[in-house]
Structure 1
Amino acid sequence: MTDGTDTKTWPELAIGLYDRLTERNAEIAYNFDDFQLGVPSSTSSDAKHAQWKLNGAIRVTTRSGAAS
């Protein structure tokens, strides 16, 4: 994903997200109330979807390894 091409796989998506978050020392927090998400099994147009249901919070934080 770092070479400017489109993301094709879940690992590429995860790596790209991690890279961007750590570059910015970002914190992202999401709160869900009866949220449903269809997660595709692949990137094909006819991929099957698993239904995920989320209630509660997800927090992603990053911290630099360097001392400040």
Structure 2
Amino acid sequence: MLMRCPNCNSRDIGKIGSNQFYCWECFVEFNVVGDQVKLFQVEEDGSLSSFDDLFSEIPQVGTV
């Protein structure tokens, strides 16, 4: 199975750990567990920021 980046759809990814991958096109790290994918931005100091935190405060379309 050839995996693609869930962010940019690139095939240029590398495995960095158990169920952990890095995309060389958009420079994100992601974890795959079952059918769940978690995206992380790699900060300048090497720490990871979850994309879930970035989008957690955006209201859903159609909600009042």
TM exceeding 0.5: no
**Greater Cα radius of gyration, structure 1 or 2:** 1
Q: TM-score range by the shorter chain?
A: under 0.3
- Give 1 or 2: higher helix fraction: 1
The normalised TM-score by structure 2 is 0.19
The normalised TM-score by structure 1 is 0.19
Higher relative contact order (CA 8 A, sep 6+): 1
